[in-house]
Structure 1
Amino acid sequence: MPALTLRLAQGTPCWVSLMTDDLPGARAFYGELLGWTFAPGPTQLGEYVRARLGEEQVAGLGVSSVTGFPVQWTTYFAVDDADRSTQLVRECGGTVAVGPLQAERAGRLAIAADVSGAVFGLWQGEEHLGREAGPGPGGPAWAELLTPDADGAAAFYGAVLGVPVAGAEGGSALLVGGRPVAGIRRGAELRGHPPRWRTHFAVADVDLTAGRAVELGGRVLVAPRPTPRGRAARLADPRGGHFSVLQAAA
């Protein structure tokens, strides 16, 4: 899809970012798996690069500065006013871990957790507007929250982001402009893991991608299977960062 020239509508997932303790290893793994190249990004939170597909920026990778912080992907939502949205997080029972702060001239961000502890980001784009999920292989395809309290999460995100939430197959969905942009589902398979937003990347062939991930040192957590959005698999990178890959239904 072409580069964005307008800020995405409030409530749209607009960016995903990996915090890891092995940035060179993450670059090698995801570069080989998803066809990414890399360019420098803002450094307010430490060393950080932006992944590219051709000339398009699709994701960020950074070094966690917190000892013992889990390796994980974070979904960011577009907001018109990061300071106001951050205040709404607190008013709705969530917590704010970082910000709001300025990421050089790229935009303004905050990192927060919802009422169940799932981490997410808020992004007020300026020079860097983010990327809307699209069908192209290698880019973000879908964001889905797994949580033990799906109803509470739906109320929280609807209020913080100011968007409607509607029932969807297997759970509910945040709607922007009348279309689903992210899912919320009761995560029966969490099995002791904390609630989390799961990042899905589009791929041309889920089965081949899962096999390649293992060759590159990753793991298959859930084998390729049909889902309402297409054929999907849940994987982990060599440092334990969970993500999913999705082959859209024909």
Structure 2
Amino acid sequence: MPTRDTPWPDGTPCWIDYGAPDVPAAKAFYGSLFGWDWTADSPEFGGYVNALKNGHQAAGLGPLVDPGASPSWTTYFAAGDAAATCDRIRQAGGTVVVEPMEVGPMGTMVVAADPQGNAFGLWQAGTHTGVQVYGEPGSLAWNDAAVDDPGAAREFYAAVFGFTYDEVPGAEGYTTFATADRPLGGLGGLAPGAPKGWATCFAVASTDDAVAAVEAADGKVTMAPMDTEYGRVAVVSDPWGASFSVMQ
């Protein structure tokens, strides 16, 4: 099981969390789907909890800050200096929605949006270093963005995080991004029926079983399971309409 308990390199998708309209129901849905346990409720942090996979931090979950907002998964990028990264976001034409905010000793968070309106977060690690388990069933496998203008998005994220890009052959302009020599995620144009913005993909032992479990819990299938050279993948939405992917 790949695990990590030290801060992630700058620009790495290092944390994901979910804004839930119904926290107990969301905990039940995702806990059953991914085999997650949960840390104790934290009233001092607005009821935010961490999902644990075999004792390792896998994701976060808390109530929607804006009751009128749509539930969704947020991708956070590691930032050793959140304030300096915010400066680069603004200089590149993005927007800082939530200024750097200390979350006790755990770290500093930011919520931002790129010039096309796609939301993402920053996490400057303190005692909480982000995901501790990844690439295993029930944990984060991949983050990518579907955007209106991929070229402009690549320029923005390169300016903010120093990303370099490699086009995936036969993937209609979809590129991976990296800060060194290891792909960290992907970026491409909008596909018919696919959600816009940053998306989270979870590793699962069986894509078909995961899809069946989502449907049984009143979720929906946006893209039926299909085989790719990277694995068997499907796009689904939870009972509240939040989209995510699963990959075997």
TM superposition score normalised by structure 2: 0.93
1:155 and 1:132 map into 2 onto residues whose CA distance is 30
1:45 and 1:66 map into 2 onto residues whose CA distance is 15
Aligned counterpart, 2:191: 188
Residue deviations 1:84-107 (CA, integer Å, cap 9, x gap): 101111111111111210011111
Counterpart of 2:183, as a letter, is P
Aligned counterpart, 1:246: 247
Counterpart of 1:66, as a letter, is D
Aligned counterpart, 1:63: 63
Aligned residues: 245
CA positional deviation for 1:163? 2.8
C-alpha RMSD over aligned residues: 1.8
- Does the C-alpha gap of structure 1 residues 131 and 119 become closer, same or farther in structure 2, counting only changes over 3 Å? same
Q: Give the match's secondary structure for 1:17.
A: strand
1:8 corresponds to 2:8: yes
Please give the residue correspondences for 1:169-180 in structure 2 after superposition, counting only pairs within 5 Å. 169=169, 170=171, 171-180=174-183
2:8 and 2:44 map into 1 onto residues whose CA distance is 23
Residue deviations 1:95-137 (CA, integer Å, cap 9, x gap): 1111210011111110111111111010111101112673210
Q: Give the match's secondary structure for 1:86.
A: helix
Counterpart of 2:65, as a letter, is S
Query: Contact (CA 8 Å) 1:15, 1:77: kept in 2 or not?
Result: yes
2:14 and 2:230 map into 1 onto residues whose CA distance is 19
Structure 2: gaps of 5 or more residues? none
- Does the C-alpha gap of structure 1 residues 43 and 159 become closer, same or farther in structure 2, counting only changes over 3 Å? farther
Please give the residue correspondences for 1:15-26 in structure 2 after superposition, counting only pairs within 5 Å. 15-26=15-26
CA positional deviation for 1:3? 4.7
Please give the residue correspondences for 1:1-250 in structure 2 after superposition, counting only pairs within 5 Å. 1=1, 3-40=3-40, 46-131=46-131, 134-169=134-169, 170=171, 171-189=174-192, 195-247=196-248
Residue deviations 1:172-207 (CA, integer Å, cap 9, x gap): 12113211111001013257x6x3111000001101
Counterpart of 2:235, as a letter, is R
CA positional deviation for 1:162? 2.2
- Percent sequence identity is 37
1:7 and 1:37 map into 2 onto residues whose CA distance is 23
Query: Contact (CA 8 Å) 1:42, 1:106: kept in 2 or not?
Result: no
TM superposition score normalised by structure 1: 0.92
1:94 and 1:240 map into 2 onto residues whose CA distance is 26
CA positional deviation for 1:165? 2.5
Query: Contact (CA 8 Å) 1:210, 1:220: kept in 2 or not?
Result: yes
Residue deviations 1:30-67 (CA, integer Å, cap 9, x gap): 00001001114766763211000011000001111213
Counterpart of 1:212, as a letter, is A
- Does the C-alpha gap of structure 1 residues 2 and 182 become closer, same or farther in structure 2, counting only changes over 3 Å? closer
